[in-house]
Homo-oligomer: A and B are copies of this chain.
């Protein structure tokens, strides 16, 4: 229902692929392409796209720039959420978000666990910086697809709440008592 009233609003998103090999041009970014296709199919415009290495400061700086200067309404990252030494995407993301949205990461892990048990090892986080929703996805094309499909249905509601476009009291229960206030 919410989605009906909001389907006229266009969202601008960024896709940030975090991969040492990808950033050196040594591997094609299949996961980034999967995200772009899924976002396009959901009517979301991909306004920024970049591949950066697994460097915490660089990831944090890119997220900050995209949220603060390009005013993107959403950034989706892929890669760097695992247990390898250089996997630092969650830490970089936590350092720039102002509010965590733990349920998005919990739901992605819980729903994909039955398909791929190792999905529970993803340390992905999600949160809000200013007016920008930031969501970490895992690194593999399969993981990206499975996880994004879990959260995609609630993303319009999330973005519109962040931006104050949902001003009526919703029948859903995202926790807000607020109307226009």
Residues A174 and B79 in contact, CB atoms below 8 Å apart? no
The answer to the question of A158 belonging to the interface, with a C-beta cut-off of 8 Å to chain B, is yes
**A58 CB, min distance to chain B CBs, angstroms:** 15
**Interface SS of A by simple majority:** mixed
**What chain B residues lie within 8 Å of A87 (beta carbons)?**
99, 175-176, 178
Residues A84 and B138 in contact, CB atoms below 8 Å apart? no
**What chain B residues lie within 8 Å of A166 (beta carbons)?**
84
The 8 closest A-B pairs by CB, nearest first: A143-B173, A81-B175, A103-B120, A19-B177, A82-B176, A82-B175, A79-B177, A118-B172
> What is A's interface to B at a CB cutoff of 8 Å?
2, 17-22, 27, 31, 54, 78-87, 89-91, 99-107, 109-110, 112-113, 116-124, 128, 133, 136, 138-140, 142-144, 146-147, 151, 153-154, 157-158, 161-162, 164, 166, 169-179, 181
